[in-house]
Amino acid sequence: MTIILIKILVAIGGSVAFGLAYWRRSQLVNLPEATASRLLLSAFVLCRLVPFVVIYVVLGLEPRSDVPVFYDSASHALRAEVVYRDFWSPYSPLFAYMTALPLVIWHSAKAIVLLMILMEGLAFWLTYRFYRPRRGGVAQLAGLLYLLLPAPLVFCVIGGQEDIWMWVFGALSLWVWSRRPDEFRLGLLMAVALLMTKALAVLIVAALFFWVRRPLRYVAGLSVVGLPGLVILYWLTGEGMLTPLMFANMPFAPNLPTVMAPFIGDFMPYAGTLSALGLLAVLAVSAYGGWQLRRKNEDYDRALPTLWVLCFGFMMFVHKSSFGNYAFIYLLPLSFGLIDWRDSQQVVVLLVLNALVTVQPSYWWKLGTPIYTSPDMLTNGQYLLEYVMEVGTVSSVAYFVWLAFRQATANRHRAKQRIAA
């Protein structure tokens, strides 16, 4: 229960700090770039590195959540063992070897958490430096508000979550494309992302196929890296290479099926079918969004964050194996590339979503990961409270999915909404 109370305090404190910064948004937008850069660096140190030192060095607490799993697989990788064959890992084949790197210097699970913080810092820096010349002072506002959000702090520092890794490659692709638009190079980069992050990256890889003008060149880039990688992986591990797909059949919450469960009953007897339908729905909606963005010739710096939020937001909404931590996948591109900071409704929904996903996952685990297959279960006060958080989370995610879908499909002239304070 202690960790839940800590997360509640973080949610409250982060929301208050966010609100105060948003109240001063006009001053933040007009800060000189050098001053803003120092402010953002200070905010990153205060909101990421200082909590790390306090929690893991001063208090001496041990990492929780998925970090012990990361540490175990990284330890095996450090001994040059083969992933999927010699040790278990639910992530992409190179992920364990990447997380093994900090163990060379500091053989502790805490080193994994520090790596996750540095990877988020890299994603943030790449995103901010890309959008600052294009969005001006609004990028400064978006950057500070993102750092003050409670959910990324909890996901990164307390949870040691790796979901932000995918956006590292998304942000890198913005830089690669801006220097020389080339589908082949984009395919190369996305293939590396597939090998280094997690299986979910295949969703955005597929969605981009419908945005690029030369899809065959894009596929060629994917194949140059991807096919040899698959061949080597199969040679080393056989069917073990399918390990990352195992989570597709496990129920998590919150998502549309778990919110509907009190009314439709237990969906586990047809979980496989539901999982397949959810995956097909995500692929179809993402493909349609990519195609619409291509039809209106949307530039990549606007198309990618829109498509990213549409793809992973809809996945979080509709797939039965999605849970609150997946918001970490798209909060950064959502903040820099989609939200209109003049729209108070969007800002409030963002804050509500952050507060809910900060607390709900831990509370759900504390209750024993319940799926409410009958309305009678909701007569339990704790179950009802958790279910209300699920409904609020799913509704907030649906709002941003709708926002991204509207941005992807709107008339080009209407879609010229510029994020401003």
This prediction's pTM:
0.95
The backbone torsions φ and ψ at residue 297, rounded to the nearest 5 degrees and listed phi first, read 55, 40
Burial (CB count within 10 angstroms: exposed 0-12, middle 13-18, buried 19+), residue 261: buried
Q: What is the pLDDT of residue 418?
A: 43
Q: What is the pLDDT of residue 301?
A: 97
For the chain, how big is the Rg over CA atoms in Å? 21
Q: How far apart are CA 359 and CA 378, in angstroms?
A: 19
Closest by Cα among 186, 242, 255 to 397: 255
Question: Using one digit for the tens of pLDDT, what is the confidence trace for 329-366?
Answer: 999 999 999 999 999 999 999 999 999 999 999 999 99
Percent of the chain with pLDDT over 90: 89
Give the pLDDT band (50/70/90) at residue 420: very low
pLDDT over 90 (residue 144): yes
Q: How far apart are CA 261 and CA 403, in angstroms?
A: 26
Contacts of residue 15, defined as CB under 8 A and 6 or more positions apart, other chains included, come to: 150, 351, 354, 355
Mean pLDDT in the chain?
Answer: 94
Question: Using one digit for the tens of pLDDT, what is the confidence trace for 99-120?
Answer: 999 999 999 999 999 999 999 9
CA quadruple 245, 325, 353, 267: dihedral sign: positive
Q: How far apart are CA 239 and CA 400, in angstroms?
A: 37
Q: How far apart are CA 194 and CA 225, in angstroms?
A: 10
Domains of the chain: which residue ranges? 2-409
Q: How far apart are CA 241 and CA 53, in angstroms?
A: 37
Cβ atoms within 10 Å of 28's Cβ, excluding its own: 21
pLDDT over 80 (residue 414): no
Which amino acid belongs to residue 202?
V
For range 198-209, the mean pLDDT: 97
pLDDT over 80 (residue 284): yes
Q: What is the pLDDT of residue 417?
A: 46
Question: Using one digit for the tens of pLDDT, what is the confidence trace for 27-81?
Answer: 999 999 999 999 999 999 999 999 999 999 999 999 988 999 999 999 999 999 9
pLDDT over 80 (residue 248): no
Contacts of residue 169, defined as CB under 8 A and 6 or more positions apart, other chains included, come to: 189, 190, 192, 193, 196, 197, 201
